[in-house]
Amino acid sequence: MKKDAVYDAVIVGAGPNGLAAAITLARQDHRVLVLEAKETVGGGMRTMQLTLPGFQHDICSAIHPLGVGSPFMRSLPLKKYGVDWIQPPVALAHPLDGERAVLIEKSLDATAARLGADSLAYQRLMTPFAERWDDLAQDFLGPFPLPPKHPLLFASFGLKAIRSASGLARSLFQGEEARAVFAGMSGHSMLPLEQMVTAGFGMMLGGLAHAVGWPMPRHGSQTIANAMAAYLCDLGGEIRTSSPVKNLQDLPPAKMIFFDLTPRQVLDITGERLPAGYRRQLASYRYGPGVFKIDYALDGPIPWLAVGVERAGTVHIGGTLEEIAAAERAVWRGEIPERPFVLLAQQSLFDPSRAPEGKHTAWAYCHVPHGSSVDMTTRIEAQIERFAPGFGDLVLARSTHNAQEMQIYNPNYVGGDINGGVQDLRQFFTRPVARWVPYSTPDPGIYLCSSSTPPGGGVHGMCGFHAAQAAMKSRGLKIKG
């Protein structure tokens, strides 16, 4: 790089949203540079040998319904750059006591058929959104759509999505099975299931399971990061790793700066460059509960009691709606749940590259209070043993990260919050602050593009895409293609 080079845009952070912003700008022939603190690109899409030689673990994201379902990710030539999606035969299994399990398959009919008395209600709830996911994504994966592109669909989704998960599940479903599986999918919100909008998470993840599946990339999430980075470089973009940005003086001259960071870090880096009123708004941004993460090297596949769980990429372990709701309520109140809601993925069953022959990996986490340093290993393993007795005997090695260690690993996980801030009704469309264009700041050269902007957490790149589009529009630049 020439010392006096002026970039059109410098992007701080090479997570999915930073890379998405850079790609969106580079596609319009802008000269972009991405600065990443760590030695590798990826943010929440990294894969490493955390336990024993030959075992590959997804440190953060593992399962990617949004990786295949987001309009931005779909626009990328990921296959050409080495991403090979694996669709497990069952997207999600939700074991229950008594050797039962609810299985969510891509086929809505097959899934509903197993839900007994709730078969029709489940089908009625999911069908419109599974069938019209592409239309729904246009209105929901971004800032509040004014006006919505698909007003009737938006209204019919929105009226249910705004409800609490426990309220919607209780009013629609009679049986323990359907209520439990809906509670588990809604638990991804990291909110108490009695709060408004939690139903929206269950509906979106359920709809995605039937529309596009819940796949995993062969060799791990790092392959998505590497593909995005390689594509960016082919578009002429530059990436510098091992380049932590501590203040604005660390940046080369650029017309625009994009932060793939959360408000707290943006405040630290920008100092007094942003006006005091906006700084106060950013400072009042709310972060939510954290996660406790475990990666396992296993001597064999997990011995699930219920038939069919071994065919699922993802397993939700937490029992009934009431139990999951109690666990999430406790976390929100700052208490440690004795029986946490555990999200588990068993990638090596479908992707042999993750472990030596005959061995396996498991990826698991549960929600914990913000900033918690409590070790959840015993509680997580008791929950797994409940549905898979003998699991403990298979553990060859484990690597754990409590919520504080998650933040040390990636400063975007403030207090262990993996969504870049609370995703409740108030902060869903108005993250990080209530502004017409939430990606912009009062400084015309500074933009935010992380999951602290709409549509929030997940590997979808839509925050970065919308931020880049907003910046180009506000500068009166023509967007081609």
Residue 270 engages ligand FAD in binding (rule: CB under 6 A): no
Residue 261 touching ligand FAD (CB under 6 A):
yes
Return the residue of 63, 91, 266, 462 that touches ligand FAD, per CB under 6 A. Answer: 63
How many CA atoms are closer than 13 Å to the CA of 481, on its beta-carbon side?
A: 8
Counting contacts by CB under 6 A, is residue 62 touching ligand FAD?
A: yes
Q: Does 455 bind ligand FAD (CB under 6 A)?
A: no
Using the contact rule CB under 6 A, the part of the chain among 25-33, 37-45, 369-377, 468-476 near ligand FAD is 37-45
In contact, 32 and 8? CB cutoff 8 Å: yes
CB of 81 to ligand FAD, least distance (A): 18
Using rule CB under 6 A, residue 244 touches ligand FAD: yes
Asked if 291 touches ligand FAD (CB under 6 A), the answer is yes
Tell me if 64 contacts ligand FAD by CB under 6 A. yes
Candidate list 47, 223, 372, 412; residue touching ligand FAD; CB under 6 A = 412
Considering only residues 65-94, where is the footprint of ligand FAD by CB under 6 A? 66
Q: Is 254 in the site for ligand FAD (CB under 6 A)?
A: no
CA distances from 206 to 111, 172, 410 (A): 11, 15, 29
Strands 85-86 and 216-217: what pairing?
A: antiparallel
Taking the least distance from each CB to ligand FAD, the nearer of 178 and 376 is 376
Q: Distance between the two ends of the chain, CA-based, in angstroms? A: 29
Q: Which stretch binds ligand FAD (CB under 6 A): 6-14, 129-137, 199-207, 275-283?
A: 6-14
Q: Which is nearer to ligand FAD, 332 or 363 (CB)?
A: 363
Binding footprint of ligand FAD, residue count (CB under 6 A): 39
- Measure the CA–CA gap between 185 and 87, rounded to whole angstroms: 18
Q: Any idea which residue has 């020439």 for tokens?
A: 2
Q: Pairing state of beta strands 85-86 and 312-317?
A: unpaired
- Cβ proximity to ligand FAD: between 177 and 381 the closer is 381
Q: Which of 451, 455, 468, 471 binds ligand FAD (CB under 6 A)?
A: 451
Maximum Cα–Cα distance for the chain, whole Å? 69
Give the C-alpha separation, 389 to 146, whole Å: 52
In this structure, are strands 47-48 and 100-104 parallel, antiparallel, or unpaired? Answer: unpaired
Contact range with ligand FAD by CB under 6 A, out of 137-145, 196-204, 412-420, 434-442: 412-420
The b-or-e profile of 178-196 (16+ CB within 10 A means b, else e) is: bbbbbbbbbbbbbbbbebb
Identified binder of ligand FAD from the candidate list 103, 422, 459, 472, rule CB under 6 A: 459
Single out the residue of 164, 410, 423, 440 in contact with ligand FAD (rule: CB under 6 A).
Answer: 410
Distance CA 422, CA 401 (A): 21
Pair 440, 432: CB distance under 8 Å: no
The yes or no reply on residue 35 touching ligand FAD (CB under 6 A) is: yes
Q: Which is closer to ligand FAD, CB of 35 or CB of 180?
A: 35
Among 365, 439, 447, 465, binds ligand FAD (CB under 6 A): 365
Toward ligand FAD, which CB reaches closer, 121 or 204? 204
Question: Applying CB under 6 A, does 351 fall inside the site for ligand FAD?
Answer: no
| 177 contacts 115 by C-beta, under 8 angstroms | yes
Which string of DSSP letters, residue by residue, matches 15-46? SHHHHHHHHHHHTTT--EEEE-SSSSS-TT--
8 lies in the binding site for ligand FAD (CB under 6 A): no
Contacts with 438 (C-beta within 8 Å, 6 or more apart), sequence order: 143, 429, 430, 431, 432, 448, 453, 454
Nearer to ligand FAD (CB atom), residue 153 or residue 291: 291
User: Is residue 169 at the binding interface for ligand FAD, with CB under 6 A as the rule?
Assistant: no
Q: Is 361 in the site for ligand FAD (CB under 6 A)?
A: no
- Token representation of residue 340: 């946490």
Contact set with ligand FAD (CB under 6 A)? 12-18, 35-38, 43-44, 60-64, 66, 244-245, 260-261, 265, 291, 293, 365, 410-413, 418, 420, 450-451, 457-459, 463
